[in-house]
Structure formats: C-alpha cells, structure tokens
Structure 1
Amino acid sequence: MMRHLATLIFILIACEAKSQVLPADTIPAEIAVSIDSSKVRFNSKLRDLRQISGAPTPFYTYFWEFGDGHFSFEKDPLHHYRDTGTYDVRVYATNNYDDGKPPPTKPKKIKAPKAPPIQYAYNSFKSGGSIALKTNRMPKPAEEMVLIVAYRNKPEWNIENLSGRIAILYNEKQFKQNNFVLNDTRKYYNEEKTELKTLLAYTPLTKVIEEDWKQKGGPANVTILRPAEDSQLLKEKADLFRNAEVWKFQNLKKGEERFMFLSLNTTPEMLQDTNAVVTISAVFIPDDPLVEHELTDLQLQIVASHDPNKMMLKNRRMNYRFTGKNRELAYKVRFQNTGEGPAKKVAIGVRTAGILDLSSLKITGSQPNCIPCDSAYTNQSCLDTVILKDSVVFVFKNIYLPGVKQKGVSDVDSTMGHIEYSVKFKKKPRKVPFDSQAAIVFDKNEPIYTNRSVGRFKPGLSPSLIAVYGSQLNKTQAINLGNKNFSLGLSIAPFAPHRKYLQWEIYASSYNEAETFLGRQEGVGDTVINRIGYKINYRERFQKTKMVSVDVVPAQLRYNLNSFVGFGAGALVSLNFKTSGERTQNTYAQTQGAQGRLENTVFTATVKEDLKGIDHWTTTLFADVQIGRVRVGPALGLRYLHSLNISDRRISTYLTWKF
C-alpha cells in the first residue's frame, strides 16, 4: 500500500514538474524579415496559444514599431523606410483569451534600403484634435504597455513650421500606489526633454471652452484652452497626477504627424485595483499664441486578462458621504468582432445591480454611432434599447463591423465598438459593493460574457464624541471612585458602515484618589512631646495618590442590525497615571491626664510626594447595544464591562454622536 502511495506521489510530482516546464511565457517573440527591392515585410514566430476553458478561441493581436517613428497593428506588415540604415524593430503580441503571459519583446536590428516617399495613414486623429493617445493593449498588473503619443500641425492652421511643447501626465493621486513606471521613451524628431514647472510658467491657461468646440464639430474628449494670465487650469490638472513627462518640439511642418513611444510597466500593486479605470492625460501647447492649446484624456482599464470584450465603471470607488440617489454612474461596454467575417447585428445584454434606477438611463456615446431605431427608416443602421426589470439590452442593427480575422482588414479599430451610458441610484444605496455584467452576441453566435464591473465605496472615516456615565457593581479595595464616574471619549470608525466593522476608542477620566495602606508598627515605645510624656501604642502609614485614567479600546468589532440598532464587543485597556500624592503617618498614643486617667491621642504627619508614571493597568472585556442613529448621528448605548485582572464589574450608559 505504501509503495503504491509513493508511486502515486512521484507521478503527481512529475506531472507538476512537467506542467511547470510546458508554458513558454519567457520565450521572446522572434521577428522574421524579408526584403524585396525597397519593400520590407515583417512577420513573427510566437509561442502556441493555450485555450481558456469556456472562453472563445484565443488569438494574438499585434503592435509593430519599425524603429523610424512609424508603427503598425497588422499581423504581417509591409513597411517602406525613407532612408537606408539600421533600425531597431519591435513586435508586441497580445494573447487574447489565453491563460499565459504575452511573449516578451526583444528588439531586432535590421538593415533596410531606402524607399520612395510614401504617406502613411494612421487615423490617429479621428477626434479632429492635434494630439492623441493610444495604447497597444489594456494593461495587466506587472505587464508592459506601449503608449503612442501622436501630435500634428493641422493643415487648417496654415502654419508652415510649428514649435511648442507636449506633456504627458500619469499616476493619478487618487490611487494610493502608482499605476505605471516609465521604462523607456523612443522619439525620432529631436524632441528635447524639459520640466513641467517650465511649462506651467511658460503658458498660463484660461477656462475650458469645450462647449464652443463641440458646436464647431469638435469631439467631446478634447478640451481647447487659450492663453490667459489668470487661469490655473493646467496647474489644477497637473495637481491630479504624481508624474509628468514634458518635451519641446521644433519645426513641425504643415500637415505633418509625429509619433513618440513610451514603454510603461503597470505596477504589480494594481492587482488589487483590477477593473479600475485610470487616466493618462496629454497637453499640446504651441508656441504660436494664436493656435489653440489642447488637452486630451486617455482612460484605461486595469484588466486581469486580455479580453477585448470588457465592461467598466468609471470612478468605481466612490465617497459614500457624498453619494445620493442623484449620483450618476458612467458605464462603458467595449466589444470587438474577433471572427473571420463582418457582424451585422451586435446585442449587448447588461445585468444591472438592483439598486440602479433604469428609468434614468441615458446613452452618452456609441461606436458605431447610430440613431435610435424608433426614428430610423427600414434597414437603416440604428441602436435599439430595451429596458427590463433588472437588465438592459442594447442592439446595434444593420451595421457592418469587420472581423479581426477577416481578409483585407488592417485597421484593428474598425473591428471594435462600444456603448456608453449613465444611470442613477433608485435611492441612497447601502454601503456594500454592487456589480454589473454584460453578455455580447455577434449575429447568431454564442454569447461572450464580460468581466463583472464592481462599484465600491471608499471606507471613509467617521469621528464620534462619546459621553459615558457608569456605576460599579462591586468596588475594589485599592480604588475609591467616589462620585466621579464620568468620562469623555473619542472614537474612529468607517463612515456609515452596512457590514461588520472595527472601531477604535479613547477616553480620559479622573479618579478622586487611590489610597494604599502601607503597614502598621506595634510597640514603638515612649516619647516626650512638649514636655508631656506619651506611650506610643502603634503607628499606621498610608499613601494617597491622585490619578488620571486613560482608557483605550484598541479593537472592537461592531455590527449595525439596521440604521437604528447596533451591537458591539471588544476589549478596553485602562492605564492609570499617577499625577501627585502624599504619605500620611498616624501615631496612636496615650498620656496621663490631670486626674490620673489615660487619654488617647492621635498625631498625624503628612508629607507631599511628586509622583509620575503608570500606577497600574487593567484589561476589561465588554459588550454593548446602541439605539438611535447608529450609522451617522446620535445614539444611546448601554455597555457591560468585566475586568480580567481585578475584581471590577460595571454597567455604563453613554451618548455617542457620529459625524
């Protein structure tokens, strides 16, 4: 039996070792090059994809850098170099629906011939602006991402040579940890590094005139700024980020487009913020004061896996103190046709949280951009919206959405779409996480399910004042509380919790005094005081100490049954600090009176003492109940306390007010 068990263990260990050898995530992508006259063709050799159980068929998407400031998202791109030379070529392959890591990128040097001039069309400025941001993938924690920074001299400006500055702002301060680490910057047009403070001093900005820009046909995500001495908009924007990269550019020709590439690593700490939406901002400031300055934002979702079909909630971590029924939540569902042919119909069914008011739903954007179906003519491309009890269905009808694997499709963006909408709460929600999820159906294919988009509330802090009055059930011999059993305290807890939570408390209260009997001395002898003889029977010594007690609750577990009743239990540590004291000696003596009778006399001597430090400490367990506004507001409490190391039991009542 033992021999069979040992054999089984050996087989399991061998299988485990084999499973650890099989993944080839550390093997870099191999780049192959073929040159025909002045044409250079690229392709790559990548590790085999590994199917995730239940997911669509895995596939790679590609991003190529050709080492001359140009790029491509095609699988096997063809490129023409303007000059003969040696170039560093990179390929970034993203493994969609695969259970491993993307193949590492390793630059390859190639020697390329000079080609006839050719104009590449990148569609980087679909927004109509002069600066744009794009990435090769949605970032996973601890993974590299390439940020493409595109800027141009718009022909309508009619400026032959334009100079100015561009700035990239990243790592938002709203996150405790950094989102990205900058690894490398690849630039090809002699852009010079400068400082953000130089940019801030160079061009103050005025208020946003975004509405005017929209009316002129411009996009909603581009903000146009104009110079003015009294504006702080750029400074306010920069204050939202920890890091900035700024460059000065020169001689940007009329109609010319330029590109920079920033390699950014998503920090491993972002694993705890998977599905968080992070922002990278770019600012374009020409030297010519008559040319508009532009600011654009790129919003990225930190993902757990590479899946082109995603659902995200912007600003998903909310401050509960300022969240009410009128708070608008902004959702976005992204989808991509990964098939071999075009899709004519795309249906997105969203299961929503029950706390959302679907009657308040508003569509804020879509791609393809379609009119509502109730105002469309027959067979016109349109968007239909069907609202059910706890779900909503968006249906793109009569559209043409190319597939990633479709022959002749080179523009990856054309295979993607999205729906954006806003919705409000039915009422002020409970302070618990809530989630939504989408199912996407392309034509009549099986549904593809997105991630769960979870909304959460920040813990927040709720300070509270506490006034306590208590009574002892049995007094100790060492401490005389007298009539002073009143104390004031302060507590700190999460704001308006709807689940179990921890609370911390501290109190300060004064005792009358603590009196300690130090001892008795018998048969001391005789003495003479003021020529009168006394017989000393005995002496007693006492020490009286005045103290201040500091009570600390380092750990208390509480639970609110509802908004009006709460329970708690924990431990209280009392530290008694000596502030002053005195020693008293009482001498009990007898003397012979006038008629020969013995008379008793007591002589008292007192000496003041300067006492400092801790006299003693006690640990007390307690349990209590609160009635009132137990989450935020006033509440009345009743608490039972039982000390562990002294004979002390109490019942105290207290009034607390949480803010």
Structure 2
Amino acid sequence: MKTLLLPLLVILGFHVVQAQVLPTDTVPAKISYTTENGVTKFSAELRPLRPISGAPAPFYTYFWEFGDGGFSFEKDPLHIYSSSNPTMVRLFATNNYDDGKHPPTRPRPIKPTKPSGGGKPMLASNTPNFFKMGGSIELKSNAMPKPGDDMMLVFGYRNKASNGQPNLNGTLAILYNDREFSNNNFVLTEARTYFGEKKADLKPMTQTAYLPQKSKTPVYYASANPELTLPKADQVLFKDKAKDFKNQEGWRFEGLKTDEERFLFLEFKTTPEMLKDTNAVVRLSAVFIPDNPLVEKEFFNLELQIVASHDPNKMVLRKSRMNYRFTSKSRELTYKIRFQNTGKGPAKKVDVAVNIAPVFDPATLKVTKTKPEVITCDSAYSGQSCLKVLKGTDSVHFVFSNIYLPGLDQKGVNDADSTMGFVEYKIRFKEKPEKLPIKSGAAIVFDKNEPIYTNRAVGRFKMGLSPGIILGYGFPFETNNQNFLNNKNIVIGASLAPYAPHRTYWQVELFLNTFKENTYLVSSTTTSKDTVINNTPYRIDKKDYYKTKKVITINAVPLQVRYNLNKYVGAGAGALVSLNLYDKDIDELKYNLTAANGVGKINLDRIANSSKKHFSDLNASLFADVQFGLVRVGPSIGFRYLYDPKTNNNRMASYVTWKF
C-alpha cells in the first residue's frame, strides 16, 4: 500500500503545482453593467497584468461593442439604448507591455432599459468625432495585428452635408491581404451590421443611372444587369485598387440620411502564417462608392504594423522588404515613430531620439508629418509649440517643445487618440548600400522621465535571383572514361544564385557538353591468311581493330556554397555531378587485302559491334574554386580544382562567368 501511496502523492503534488502556475490567458473578461435613468454603465474585470522586465508599467486598452451599432474605446463607458430588446455586448481588451495573450472575448447577453422619454443612441460619453480625416469613410482598429490573435476593425461611413443628398444609397467594400505577402495575413471571421447593410457582389460593380420615361429626375441604383455598368473611370479606379489585395468583401447600404453616421464591425483573425517580421506593415483599404455619380467615391487606407507584443511606442519602416536590384543611392526610405503618453499627467516636451544607420546621409533627412502638428522652432515665437530637429553623425533628435500631450491615465481624458503622437521622416542613402539588414531604433523621453526604448525597425532586401553564363575550359568531363578525362573541353553553362550576395550564398550550375567522336586504335595484326570475297580469293596482309566512342554528357552542380570576401574576391566549394545522356560505342575492323595473283590491293572496313546507352554512368566530383573580378554582379574569372574519388582523377579548370 505504501508503495502505491508515494507515486500517487507525487502525481497529486505535480497537478497542484501545475494548477498554481497555469497561465490566466484563457480567462475571459467578466462584463458588468448597471442602468440608471436609461443610461447603462459598463465595467469589466480582467485577468491581472504581467509586467515585462525593463518595460513600462503594463496597462489595458479597451474596445466595447454595445450590440446596437454603438461602441466605445473607454475603460468604463456609458451608453444609452433606444430599444429594450435583448442584445449582445462584447469587450475586446488589449494587453500592452504584458507578456501574455489578450483576454478572450466572450459576448454577454443583456436586456437594456431605454430612457423613459425616449432617447437617441450615443457612442459613449465624451467620444470625439470618429471621422478625424474629414472624409465619408474611415477605419480604426482596436490593436495592431499579432500573429494568431484576433483584431477588431470599425468601418465608419457617413453622408456628409456637402454631398447635398438627403438620402444616399451605395456600396461599401473592404480590401485585405496584400499581394505583397505570400501568405494570407487575415481571415474575416464575422461582420456585424446594425443598419440593414446586406452582402454585395463586388465583381460586377454595376452602378449606373437611368431616366424613367415620365420623370426628369434620374434614379440611381445597383444592378446585376451587365448592360448597366459602372462608369469606365470608376471601374479602372476600383480595379486598380483591388488588384493589390487577394480578398474583398462588400455590403449594400440604403437610406443614409444627411450627417448620419453608421458603423460596421469586422472581426478578423490574424493567421498563424502571418509574416513573423514585426517590422512589416500590412494594409487594409476601405472603399465608398455611392450610387449617385455626383457624389465622390472615396478610398481610405489603414496601415498596421505586425507586432510580437502590444506596445504603443513603436518605430516602423514602410516597405521594409526592398528589391536590391532596383535600389539606388537616391532611394528614399520612410520611417515613422509612434509614441503615447501613458502617464497620469500631460507631457509638455517629448524627445524622440533615433539612431541613424551608417548607410544613411543625415543631411537628406526631412520631416514629412507630425502629431501634434507643429512648426519648426526656427520660425516659432517664444513659447510657441514647435519641433526642433537636432542632427548628429549617427543620430537625430526630434524634440517637441511647449506642447500639451494628455496622459492616458489623466483625469478627464477619455480619448486615447489625444494621448498619442508620431513623427514621420524620409531619408536617403549615402551610396548604394551593401546587401545587409538596415537597423534603426528609437528612445522616447516624456519631459524628464526615464527613456522608453522602441523596437528596432529593420529594413531587409529581398533575395532576388541572378542568372549567369559560364564559359569553361577543362571541364566538365565524361563520367568514368579514361579516354576523355584529359580531354581539354570548352563548355558553356549557366548559373543561378541570389542577386548580389554580400557574404555566404548558394549557387547551382548546369553545363551541356557534346564530345566529338573519338576513334583510337586498339590493336594491329600482320597476317598471311587467305579469304574469299565475291568468289575472288584474297590474302589478308593486315588487320586493324579500331574503337570509336561518342558521348554527350550533362553536368550539374546541385550543391555549392560560396563566400564573397569582398566585391572583388569570392570562393566556393561543392560537387559536380556528371551524367551521360548518350553513349555510343563502335568496334570496327579494317583489312588490307591483296589479290591471290598479286595484281590488285583493296581495303575493307567492317563494323564488328555497335552499342548505345542512355542515362548511364552517373558520377560525382568534388571541387573548390576561387574567383576574381566583380564577383557579386558582373564579369569575373575563376579557377577550379576538381577531384573524382571514383577514378582518383584530379585536374584544374578555368572559366569566365558573368552574373546579371
């Protein structure tokens, strides 16, 4: 009994310890609400945050979806429902500076109470204008995409008074999954609509106008009738935009009144296959196409950085994957550093310090956008909000002075966007850089607080392919045939390698070599034998035995590792595989004959044997070589030492090559 008790206690203790260290990431938010005088107040209980060593204090950001088309980004929002119908409330909480996953979202059914005197739904208390860019559509996400997590996207649209249309019908579209990436980054798991929007087929995109016979007022509508098509210019515009994305979804809307705002809620699952490069920027694009051609069509682009963890202070390099072949000294790179004051009070000064990679020319740096928008300090009067740019040889400081940037935990601050800012700049290379990653990082100081360090934005060059031609002397050689091993062959081949590699890289090669027919004497015999040919007696004076061989060999280098010491010297090693595509052997006997009466002499040739083989005699030779010249891209000369372990044959070969 005692022998069984001990293992049981060990197992029980293991499970107890396991239960104590189980992560709380799977615990969903617990939503609570109270209603008073028709106003519903929400709050939530979330799992404890787990600080990351060295990072600022962790905190949650919130996105509430109230189930009636309203939403809020506040922690404890207020909402007024216009109906007492049961609805589902959702909370999407994002854990910033936390080492775990965000709390799962679990919808909670509620039965709201509407105001006794009737009321108009509101988004949240003190919620600012959603349409900050002034357009008819806008997108806002609750968080940056993280591989394997979900992400909410609010798609807002409205009928501006400037449209001059009391009621507006049209089509909305969301375009996602950039073709720039091989894998899909998003899956649209659910689209929740609250204003009668219906799914639309975007392929026809056939909006037009027609004039009824008894009316002079045109009627605008959407139709699947192929004769009623979208105007050519609009078709081109939409198709040109959509071609950059793999996926698209559309909805029809109707009866959008002047100054009315509506919202779609799009729930995306970021795929585990999402590019793991946390410097990459993915795009989504919203499209607004009214039926009335007099109302402007609009596009809204949202750029999101893929993240490994949620952090409001980030450095982003747009188009971080570059084609090295088309990169020149004049290429301009765009960086954006985002920052957020997460403190309890406002910041009056923000110093964004950026280390500049050695490949850049600091003199070419120019600021393109900032938030808050400020003028340069050179042209500012005393005490005016301004931006000072201090350039060094390997760093630059963007100093926002005399500003007012509210803190996220500041009393009375309900708009998280007001606590955020950014600086965007462009910079050029000193000269065409080497094909190496370009790394930059930033440190952000709010007033006199400790610096907050961002991620490193890394620019990488795509591999690219570089074809080449090879003209060689002394190789390749036919497999396992001593008659050709020392044959000095001139061959033409082709190579394929990454474009302009900096150090270590792979390369494959292919050669096609046709050997000329080689005939050699095997034996010669002098004799006095008699024979009869066409009833005429002859004496055989001499018999020669010749062998003729013709081989067509293909040679390939399926495995080769190369290393460029610099742009003028490179070395490599690998294996050369030889395969006879065609192998023909002919045994021929040649006779010298004299007539029996000694008057005449003749020569007689006879083929004793002939054989053909295909795809025979596979052989592999090891080699090492060195190249001199423009070894990355351009012409160079190489010397290659080959050793055949099967025949113990070794030899030197030389070649010239040109990589494009």
SS in 2 for 1:414: helix
SS in 2 for 1:94: strand
Partner residue of 1:421 out of 418, 425, 435: 425
Q: How does 1:391-430 map to 2 (within 5 A)?
A: 391-430=395-434
CA spacing shift, 1:578–1:517, aligned 2, 3 Å: farther
Q: How does 1:144-155 map to 2 (within 5 A)?
A: 144-155=150-161
Residue number in structure 2 paired with 1:128: 134
Distance 2:15 2:603 in 1: 93
SS in 2 for 1:270: coil
CA spacing shift, 1:610–1:288, aligned 2, 3 Å: farther
Q: How does 1:109-124 map to 2 (within 5 A)?
A: 109-115=109-115, 116-120=119-123, 121-124=127-130
Residue number in structure 2 paired with 1:261: 265
Name the stretch that deviates more: 118-127 or 612-621. 118-127
SS in 1 for 2:276: helix
Distance 1:273 1:58 in 2: 23
2:469 corresponds to 1:469:
no
Distance 2:198 2:234 in 1: 28
Residue number in structure 2 paired with 1:220: none
**Equivalent pair of 2:131/2:137 in contact (CA under 8 Å):** yes
Q: How does 1:340-419 map to 2 (within 5 A)?
A: 340-419=344-423
Paired residue type of 1:134: K
How far residue 478 of structure 1 moved from its aligned partner, in angstroms, is 3.8
How far residue 59 of structure 1 moved from its aligned partner, in angstroms, is 0.8
TM-score of the aligned structures, taking structure 2 as reference length: 0.87
Residue number in structure 1 paired with 2:196: 190
CA spacing shift, 1:519–1:180, aligned 2, 3 Å: farther
2:330 corresponds to 1:326:
yes
Paired residue type of 1:586: L
Distance 1:613 1:17 in 2: 69
Residue number in structure 1 paired with 2:215: none
1:324-359 Cα offsets, whole Å, 9 max, x none, are 111110000001111111111111100111111111
**Equivalent pair of 2:80/2:122 in contact (CA under 8 Å):** no
**Equivalent pair of 1:283/1:296 in contact (CA under 8 Å):** yes
2:162 corresponds to 1:156:
yes
SS in 2 for 1:88: strand
**Equivalent pair of 2:478/2:578 in contact (CA under 8 Å):** no
2:656 corresponds to 1:652:
no
Partner residue of 2:181 out of 169, 175, 182: 175
How far residue 19 of structure 1 moved from its aligned partner, in angstroms, is 8.6
Paired residue type of 2:614: G
TM-score of the aligned structures, taking structure 1 as reference length: 0.87
Residue number in structure 2 paired with 1:315: 319
**Equivalent pair of 1:476/1:648 in contact (CA under 8 Å):** no
Q: How does 1:444-455 map to 2 (within 5 A)?
A: 444-455=448-459
**Equivalent pair of 1:474/1:648 in contact (CA under 8 Å):** no
How far residue 650 of structure 1 moved from its aligned partner, in angstroms, is 2.5
Distance 2:481 2:625 in 1: 27
CA spacing shift, 1:153–1:477, aligned 2, 3 Å: closer
Name the stretch that deviates more: 397-406 or 639-648. 639-648
Distance 2:19 2:513 in 1: 65
Paired residue type of 2:635: P
How far residue 179 of structure 1 moved from its aligned partner, in angstroms, is 1.3
Distance 2:52 2:200 in 1: 46
CA spacing shift, 1:534–1:587, aligned 2, 3 Å: farther
Distance 1:575 1:415 in 2: 69
1:430-456 Cα offsets, whole Å, 9 max, x none, are 110011000011111110000000001
Paired residue type of 2:289: I
How many equivalent pairs are there? 624
SS in 1 for 2:114: coil
**Equivalent pair of 1:473/1:651 in contact (CA under 8 Å):** no
SS in 2 for 1:611: strand
Distance 1:393 1:620 in 2: 58
Q: CA RMSD in A?
A: 3.4
Distance 1:91 1:475 in 2: 71
1:384-422 Cα offsets, whole Å, 9 max, x none, are 111111000011111111111111111111111111010
Residue number in structure 2 paired with 1:219: none
Percent identity between the two aligned chains: 52
1:275-331 Cα offsets, whole Å, 9 max, x none, are 201111111111111111111110000001111100000001111111111111000
Distance 1:339 1:234 in 2: 43
Paired residue type of 1:363: V
Residue number in structure 1 paired with 2:60: 60
Name the stretch that deviates more: 473-482 or 433-442. 473-482
Paired residue type of 2:40: V
Paired residue type of 1:106: R
1:179-229 Cα offsets, whole Å, 9 max, x none, are 111111111111121222222x5479xxxxxxxxxxxxxxxxxxxxx9654
Paired residue type of 1:388: G
Distance 1:269 1:16 in 2: 35
Residue number in structure 2 paired with 1:3: none
1:102-145 Cα offsets, whole Å, 9 max, x none, are 00101111111223225545422111100001100011111100
Partner residue of 1:571 out of 554, 571, 575: 575
How far residue 560 of structure 1 moved from its aligned partner, in angstroms, is 1.7
**Equivalent pair of 1:311/1:334 in contact (CA under 8 Å):** yes
Residue number in structure 2 paired with 1:584: 587
**Equivalent pair of 2:285/2:300 in contact (CA under 8 Å):** yes
Distance 1:138 1:91 in 2: 16
Distance 2:611 2:202 in 1: 60
**Equivalent pair of 1:343/1:403 in contact (CA under 8 Å):** yes
SS in 2 for 1:578: strand
Name the stretch that deviates more: 330-339 or 267-276. 267-276
Paired residue type of 1:183: T
How far residue 480 of structure 1 moved from its aligned partner, in angstroms, is 3.2
Residue number in structure 2 paired with 1:242: 246
Partner residue of 1:434 out of 434, 438, 441: 438
Paired residue type of 1:657: W
Paired residue type of 1:90: R
Residue number in structure 2 paired with 1:617: 618
SS in 1 for 2:203: helix
Paired residue type of 1:53: S
**Equivalent pair of 1:584/1:604 in contact (CA under 8 Å):** no
CA spacing shift, 1:593–1:482, aligned 2, 3 Å: farther
Q: How does 1:2-13 map to 2 (within 5 A)?
A: none
- Provide structure 2 residue ranges, at least 5 long, that are not aligned to the other structure: 1-6, 210-229
Paired residue type of 1:73: F
**Equivalent pair of 1:167/1:283 in contact (CA under 8 Å):** yes
SS in 1 for 2:554: strand
